[in-house]
Structure 1
Amino acid sequence: MRQGILLYGPPAAGKDTITAALTALDARYVPFTRLKIGTGKTQGYRMGTPEQLAALEARRDVIYRNDRYSNIYVVDRPGLDQAMEDGRIPVVHLGQMTGMEQVTAFYPAQWARVLLWCSKETTALRSPQRGDTDTAARLAAWDATEADLAAHPRAQWELRVDTDAAAPGEAAEGIDVIVRGSSPRS
């Protein structure tokens, strides 16, 4: 059975940092690079065109699409297929419960669902430190993530991590224990 990790949380909750800690822990963990249609930051994305998006949608290969910050972010079937080749375990970053639901419903795999959380004040501090030029939009997204989470009180999580208190390595080790525990290869 294919495996993956879904990291859910507000902007600057530590998704990139914990993904880096996971990849340092085990080479099977790989960041999933979402397809991005738009402008701005390109690092960590597969940049695409509106035509590529239309072709994916026509083939029903869009697992989840999110429009935010004047861009379109896509979790796509071909991207996940490639990320899971050779037993790799992709780490997918999401900030919307709809994305969590769609990925788990429309892409068969053993998904470890992890809630990463930090205070709004921490997002306000971390956002400019990581080079964001739109911190106000990130804080609005933090509010939206908090409301989204509150609207899904029955959401199931294999792990919850307060990144204001937990070190990235500690969080990565906790996630690794969960993945290994659900793996037929453990």
Structure 2
Amino acid sequence: MRQGILLYGPPAAGKDTITEALAELDERYVPFTRLKIGTGKTQGYRMGTPEQLADLEARGDVIYRNDRYGNVYVVDRPGLDKAMEGGRTPVVHLGQMAGMEQVTALFPAHWVRVLLWCSKGTTARRSPQRGDSDTAARLAAWDATRADLADHPRAQWELRVDTDAMAPGEAAEGIDAIVRTTSPRP
């Protein structure tokens, strides 16, 4: 059975850093590159056009769409299919519970759900360190993520990680252990 990891958390909670640590542990862990329609940062995204988005929507291949920072970010069926080829385990980054729910409901796979958290002060410090030019928007997204999480008190997580207190390598090892012990046997 196909499997993936969903990392949920506010901006600068460590999703990229923990994904890198997972990839260092095992080459089957690969970052899922969301489709991005818009401007700004291109690294870590598959850049697309409004026409490509319309095509995906017409075929029913958009699993989750998020409009934020003046851009559109998409988790798409063809992208996930490709990321899972050869037994790979994609690591999908999300900051909205609606995305978590849609991916798990609309894309059949064994999903390991991980809540990454950091303080708002940590996001304020990390955001400019990682090159964000819109830290105020990232802090607003932190507030929105906290409210979103509060609106979903029954959300289920296989692991919760406080990235203020846990090193990325340690978090990756914990995630890997859960993937290995909860993965369905072929």
Letter in 1 for 2:98: T
User: After superposition, what is the alpha-carbon deviation per residue over 1:149-183, rounded to whole angstroms, capped at 9, x for unaligned?
Assistant: 00000000000000000000000000000100122
Match of 2:179 in 1: 179
Rounded to whole Å, the distance in 2 between the matches of 1:45 and 1:79 is 11
* Residue correspondence of structure 1 range 124-135 to structure 2 within 5 A: 124-135=124-135
Letter in 2 for 1:55: D
Match of 1:94 in 2: 94
Match of 1:68 in 2: 68
* Residue correspondence of structure 1 range 1-186 to structure 2 within 5 A: 1-184=1-184
- State the secondary structure of the residue aligned to 1:67: strand
Rounded to whole Å, the distance in 1 between the matches of 2:81 and 2:178 is 22
Rounded to whole Å, the distance in 2 between the matches of 1:73 and 1:86 is 25
List gaps (5 residues or longer) in structure 2: none
- State the secondary structure of the residue aligned to 1:166: coil
Offset at 1:185?
5.6
Q: TM-score, normalised by structure 1?
A: 0.99
Offset at 1:128?
0.1
User: After superposition, what is the alpha-carbon deviation per residue over 1:136-160, rounded to whole angstroms, capped at 9, x for unaligned?
Assistant: 0000000000000000000000000
Offset at 1:184?
4.1
- State the secondary structure of the residue aligned to 1:132: coil
Q: Root-mean-square deviation (CA), in Å?
A: 0.9
Letter in 2 for 1:41: K
Q: TM-score, normalised by structure 2?
A: 0.99
Q: Percent identity?
A: 86
Kept in 1, the 8 Å contact 2:110–2:184? The answer is no
Q: Count matched residues.
A: 186
User: After superposition, what is the alpha-carbon deviation per residue over 1:61-90, rounded to whole angstroms, capped at 9, x for unaligned?
Assistant: 000000000000000000000000000000
List gaps (5 residues or longer) in structure 1: none
Letter in 1 for 2:55: A
